[in-house]
Structure 1
């Protein structure tokens, strides 16, 4: 879900900005900043690298991924996913974005103190590991702010709102995969104490969760095409239809679940990448000359791959429901 968090926040922020009269460039910029902040809470998976340190080559590639995710459970979706922490961190990041002025130094110092306070709170409430990932969270957010300040004209208030939206939108995407986030850290919260189950069949649940991820990516694609005045339909090459052949995988491989999904995820994404990347002739759908601009090529490649994955998912789900599930 890492990609979905960022793209969903990007799309909503960009489309809202456009609705409020922003230029296309400005809307895309604030969307990109919001997307970066939406990805920030998952910096806590950095601790999972300790799992890779304990992995043995003899365990195979699957053993490496298992070791990584097993280690991540020690702290993933805890302090950095809290809306309480986000409510403090967002204004702190906004203060760090204050540019040259009489009060800039004081503002940035205040932002730094707020972030330091969050690290101290995590240390007291949940120990050294929580403080470590909170420090990574603070440093990562400061890097996002520094990049936004250098490369964009966004005001501190806008960066604050982008940070707040990104941080608060993130936990919702985790409700259907793995354990639910620690919404109110450091306080107890009965809200969504367990995973939201989309279907009693674990494979159908995984397929539905994957569809939600794809929907977030499609929303981002719609936002990009709308803001750059491009046709989404024209950018999708008909070779995406090859994704329909993936339906036979439902008859040939072990049905995937959240606990064992690597073979499904890697294979379906591989189909999409092949459909998007393989180009034998210039695309006739765009009506462009042979010297196609690189941005257009990238857009067609990405949207064709996305369409292929979507078609592959639909056909896989249809075959699974009709031919594999018990009647």
Structure 2
């Protein structure tokens, strides 16, 4: 759901900001919020240790080692609403003058020490990486945009606070109130009882977030660029994605526990987006517009998911 976190944060913040700000400013505000929404997932860097320990082997062995190691730190230290409420102003303070930077450094350092006291060296290490990446996002945002501290604080807070809720459908639920021991949810939320259909529903949910972000982008841009239309960027070759229905025969049914073969292969269908256009008078024409690549690729993946789901249900 990492991409979904960023896309949803971008879409919601840009859509609201567009009511009050010009187009470019609203889009930049959304991009900054989306960037902050990805920061909590830096805790996955710890999983690299498990991958290194496993060494080269089968895809299944390596992925099992990767995710097994990640569970030791993932969705705990950085996926906390408490941490987000402290980190967001800390990141903004880091971008200020000398006195504010000093306060921000103290605030963020306290988070690292709390993680050390609660989760030891591993927790402190994960929190340290979280602090570094979040500070980098804030500094880049200040240098590349005209967002004032208050707007930056809203973007940072929304991105960090919204992230944990997107993880309720996959894996273990986040520790919303870390470092406190209070547990809000003990298990993930299942959308459907069938494990394969549940995975497809979650994948479709993230795909919906992607389409929402695209629709918001075109809506915001449409105020002064009336030639921009979403459907105009979806080529008919996207329907080729329906051929993915054959994967029901050749690939084992995916679940949340074993989904890599499905996720990687269905995303590969998106390559249709950069394929050539064929015209009677222009036999080979490569589309040069990245928006068309993206929209056509997403449409192809959408057709693939729908076709696969239909084939699985009727199989």
Aligned to 1:143: 136
CA offset digits 1:232-267 (Å, max 9, x no partner): 111111110011111121233211001111111111
Q: Structure 1 CA distance, aligned partners of 2:286 and 2:303?
A: 29
Q: How do 1:71-220 and structure 2 match up within 5 A?
A: 71-98=69-96, 104-220=97-213
Aligned to 1:101: none
The two structures have a TM-score, normalised by structure 2, of 0.93
Aligned to 1:44: 43
Indicate conservation of the 8 Å contact 1:90/1:163, yes or no: yes
| 3-state secondary structure, aligned to 1:191 | coil
Deviation at 1:291, TM superposition (A): 10
Deviation at 1:89, TM superposition (A): 0.4
Please state if 1:226 is matched with 2:224: no
CA offset digits 1:194-232 (Å, max 9, x no partner): 100111111011001101110111111112112222211
Indicate conservation of the 8 Å contact 1:6/1:39, yes or no: yes
CA offset digits 1:271-298 (Å, max 9, x no partner): 122x11111348xxxxxxx897x5xx10
CA offset digits 1:120-145 (Å, max 9, x no partner): 11111121111110010000011001
CA offset digits 1:14-52 (Å, max 9, x no partner): 111002x21110011111110110000000000111112
Indicate conservation of the 8 Å contact 2:95/2:139, yes or no: yes
Please state if 1:307 is matched with 2:304: no
Indicate conservation of the 8 Å contact 2:176/2:183, yes or no: no
Aligned to 1:280: 277
Gaps of 5+ in 2: 223-227, 280-284
Structure 1 pair 291–129 and aligned structure 2 pair: CA distance change class (3 A): closer
Q: For the aligned residues, what is the CA RMSD?
A: 1.6
Gaps of 5+ in 1: 99-103, 283-289
| 3-state secondary structure, aligned to 2:50 | helix
Aligned to 1:9: 9
Indicate conservation of the 8 Å contact 1:97/1:159, yes or no: no
Q: Structure 2 CA distance, aligned partners of 1:189 and 1:322?
A: 44
Aligned to 1:28: 27
Count of equivalent residues: 306
CA offset digits 1:173-208 (Å, max 9, x no partner): 100100000100011233222100111111011001
Deviation at 1:108, TM superposition (A): 1.4
| 3-state secondary structure, aligned to 1:185 | coil
Indicate conservation of the 8 Å contact 2:277/2:286, yes or no: no
